[in-house]
Amino acid sequence: MSSGSNSLVAIQPLLGESKRSLLSRVRSFIWLIGKLAETIPLPFICWLGMNILQGSMPPFQIWASGKLVNAIQVRIDGHQANPWLWAILMASGLAGSRLLAPTKSWCEAAIHEQGVPAVHSRVLERTTEVDLALLEYQAFHDVALRIAEQANQTLKETLKTLGDILTNVIPIIGAILIISRIHWLLVAALFLPLIPLLAVSLRQGDLVWSALSKQTRDRRIAQYIAARFSDRQAAKEIRLFGLADELIQRWEVHFTATRKEMRGKITRAFLRLQLGGTGADVISYAVLIWAITGRFVHLTAADITVLMGAFMTIGNQSFQLQQATLDIGKHGGFAADVRAFLNLPAPCAVIPTSATIPPQPLSITLDHVSFAYPGATANVIDDVNLTIPVGQTLAIVGENGAGKTTLLKLILGLYQPDSGRIFFGDRDLQSIPIVERQALMAAVFQSFSRYPESILENITIPKGHDAAELERVISEAGLDRMIADVPDGIETILSPDLGGIDLSGGQWQRLAIARAAYRNATILALDEPTAALDPLAEVDIFKRFAQLSDNRTTILISHRLGMTRLADRIIVIEHGKITEDGTHAQLLRNNHHYAELWEMQSRWYR
Contact residues for ligand ADP (CB under 6 A)? 136, 373, 376, 380, 398, 400-406
Cα separation, 47 vs 101, whole angstroms: 10
Indicate the residue among 174 and 374 with the shorter CB distance to ligand ADP.
374
Nearest distance, CB of residue 240 and ligand ADP, angstroms = 27
Partner residues linked to 394 by β-bridges: 555, 569
Cα separation, 288 vs 193, whole angstroms: 14
DSSP summary character for residue 344? S
Cis preceding-peptide flag for 102 (omega within 30 of 0)? no
Residue 2 near residue 194 (C-beta atoms within 8 A): no
Nearest distance, CB of residue 380 and ligand ADP, angstroms = 4
Indicate the residue among 55 and 403 with the shorter CB distance to ligand ADP.
403
Other C-beta atoms closer than 10 Å to the C-beta of 546 total 15
The H-or-E segment that residue 543 falls in is: helix 535-548
Nearest distance, CB of residue 447 and ligand ADP, angstroms = 11
| Amino acid code (one letter) for 409 | K
Helices 194-214 and 216-230 pack at an angle, to 10 degrees, of: 40
| Amino acid code (one letter) for 541 | I
Indicate the residue among 191 and 371 with the shorter CB distance to ligand ADP.
371
Cα separation, 457 vs 498, whole angstroms: 15
Nearest distance, CB of residue 135 and ligand ADP, angstroms = 8
Strand 381-388 relative to strand 569-574, pairing: unpaired
Nearest distance, CB of residue 402 and ligand ADP, angstroms = 4
Nearest distance, CB of residue 544 and ligand ADP, angstroms = 25
Nearest distance, CB of residue 245 and ligand ADP, angstroms = 31
Cα separation, 4 vs 375, whole angstroms: 7
Q: Which of 281, 57, 51 is nearest to 174 (CA)?
A: 57
Provide the edge-to-edge strand list for the sheet that holds 419-424.
381-388, 364-371, 419-424, 427-428
Q: Which of 428, 194, 213 is nearest to 311 (CA)?
A: 194
Cα separation, 460 vs 455, whole angstroms: 9
Q: Would you give the end-to-end CA distance of the chain in angstroms?
A: 51
Nearest distance, CB of residue 578 and ligand ADP, angstroms = 12
Strand 523-527 relative to strand 441-444, pairing: parallel
Other C-beta atoms closer than 10 Å to the C-beta of 64 total 21
Partner residues linked to 388 by β-bridges: 364
Cα separation, 228 vs 248, whole angstroms: 11
Nearest distance, CB of residue 401 and ligand ADP, angstroms = 4
Judge residue 573's burial from the number of C-beta atoms within 10 Å of its C-beta, 0-12 exposed, 13-18 middle, 19 or more buried: buried
Indicate the residue among 317 and 406 with the shorter CB distance to ligand ADP.
406
Indicate the residue among 82 and 449 with the shorter CB distance to ligand ADP.
449
Nearest distance, CB of residue 222 and ligand ADP, angstroms = 23
Nearest distance, CB of residue 123 and ligand ADP, angstroms = 23
Indicate the residue among 17 and 527 with the shorter CB distance to ligand ADP.
527
Partner residues linked to 130 by β-bridges: none
Cα separation, 287 vs 279, whole angstroms: 13
